[in-house]
Amino acid sequence: MRDKGDYLFTSESVSEGHPDKVADRISDTVLDAFLSADPFSRVACETLVTTNRIILAGEVRGPASVTTELLVERAREAVRDIGYDQEGFSWRTADVACYLHAQSAEIAMGVDASGNKDEGAGDQGIMFGYACRETPELMPAPLFYAHEILRRVRDLRRAGDRAVKGLLPDAKSQVTLRYVDGKPVGCTSVVVSTQHEEALEQAEIKRMLRPIVEGLLPSGWMCSDDEFYVNPTGKFVIGGPDGDCGLTGRKIIVDTYGGAAPHGGGAFSGKDPTKVDRSAAYACRYLAKNVVASGLADRCTIQVSYAIGVSKPLSVYFDLHGTGHDVDEAKLARVVGEMVNLSPRGIREHLRMNRPIYAPTSAYGHFGRTPDEAADTFTWERTDLAEELRRAFNR
C-alpha cells in the first residue's frame, strides 16, 4: 500500500464458518489439545473438511494421553461451537478420520536443543510483521472493518438476536476504502455474502445487514446503497464445507494484513511455536506494533529469515516507509534485537507461546486483536516495549 497519493484499496475477510476457517479452527484445536497435555508438544496439523467429512493429517510429537479418540471429540466440539448441525455438515454425524503420525526424527534433530546447540527453527523461511496508524489497533483499515463486520454478525447470531435471524455461519466480507494523501477517508463499496435459511430473500438480508455495517464504519464513511452488495448471486443457502471444500492455511492474507503488507507465504494454524512460520510472524507483528505505538514511525514493516535447525535469524530488516521521525532503521534493528531474543526459543518464551491459546486466533485475524490480560492471550498485540523504545531514542 502506498504512503501517499489518492487511490482505492480493498481487503476481504471470511467468517469462522467459512470452510477454510473451519479447517483452521480444527487444526488449532488439535494444537491446543497437545499443548494442554504437554507445553513442549510438536504439532503440524492439516485439516480438510467437505460434505460431512473431516480429515486430520500431519506430524506430531506429544504425550500418549492425546489419543485419536480425544482429537475426534475435540474436532466435533469445534464444529458444534461454530454452529454446524446441518444435513450436509454436522458435528454429530460427520465422519472424522485422523491420520496424524510421529514427527520426522530428522526434523526433530534440527529443532531440539542439545549440548551447546540452542533450539533451532522448525523450517526455513521469511516472515513479516506490519503496523500502521489507520486504526487504534494499528491495523490496515480495510481489513479491520472487513473483520469487524463478520465478527459483529457472528456475535449477534450466537446471541440469538432477531436482527440476524435466519443467517447461518458461512460468510465473507469485502471492504474498499478511498485514500487521500495516503489516509483512508471513506468507503466506496462493501460486499457481504452470508449463508442463510431458504426462506430469507436477498432484499431482506440487505435490510438486516446495512445498519450493522453502517454502525461499524466511522461516521459518514458508508458507501451508497448501489455499492453495497449483499449476496450478489441472489441466494446462499448451501454453505460451509457442504458447499465448498475447506483446507488449513488457505486464508493467509485474511489472517495477516489484508494485502496491505507482504506475507512470507507460510500459514499459521495447526503449528506449534517451534514453527517460525507462526511464532516469528507473531514476533514481527509485536515489534512493528511497538515501534508505531512508541511514536517512532507511522508505519513499520519488519522481515526476518531463518534456516531450519539454526536458532538465530539470518536477517532482520526494518522499513519505516519514509514515516520515521528521525529514526535510523539500522539502529532500530539493533535496539530491537537487544530487547527481544528472536531465536525460536526466545520468541516463544517472551510471548509465552507454549500454551493452549490458539483456537481463538483461527478466525477474524491473528493480528489487531485485543490482548486478554486474564487469559494471557494475544500477547503479541501488547505494546509493552513502546516506552523502552522511546527511551532508547531519547523521546
Say whether 18 counts as a known binding-site residue.
yes
Annotated binding-site residue? 103:
yes
The answer to the question of whether 244 is labelled as a binding residue is yes
Through-space distance between the first and last CA atoms of the chain, rounded to whole angstroms: 28
Q: Is 144 annotated as a binding residue?
A: no
CB-based contacts of 151, cutoff 8 Å, min separation 6? 364
Annotated binding residue at 235?
yes
- Confirm whether residue 251 is marked as ligand binding: yes
Largest CA distance in the chain: 67
Sign of the C-alpha dihedral computed for residues 62, 68, 72 and 73 taken in this order: negative
- Give yes or no for a contact between 11 and 203, defined as CB atoms under 8 angstroms apart: no
Residue 390 assigned ligand-binding role:
no
Q: How far is CA 318 from CA 136, 164, 382, 389, in A?
A: 22, 44, 19, 14
Answer yes or no: is 236 a known binding residue. Answer: yes
370 CB-near residues (< 8 Å, 6+ apart): 137, 378, 381
Is 267 annotated as a binding-site member?
yes
- Other CB atoms within 10 A of residue 364 CB: 21
Beta bridge partners of 319: 301
Calculated CA dihedral for residues 43, 126, 150, 207, nearest 10 degrees = -150
Q: Binding site residues for ATP, as ranges?
A: 18, 170-172, 235-236, 244, 250-251, 267, 271
Q: Binding site residues for K(+), as ranges?
A: 46
Q: Binding site residues for Mg(2+), as ranges?
A: 20
Q: Binding site residues, as ranges?
A: 18, 20, 46, 59, 103, 170-172, 235-236, 244, 250-251, 267, 271, 275
Q: Binding site residues for L-methionine, as ranges?
A: 59, 103, 244, 275
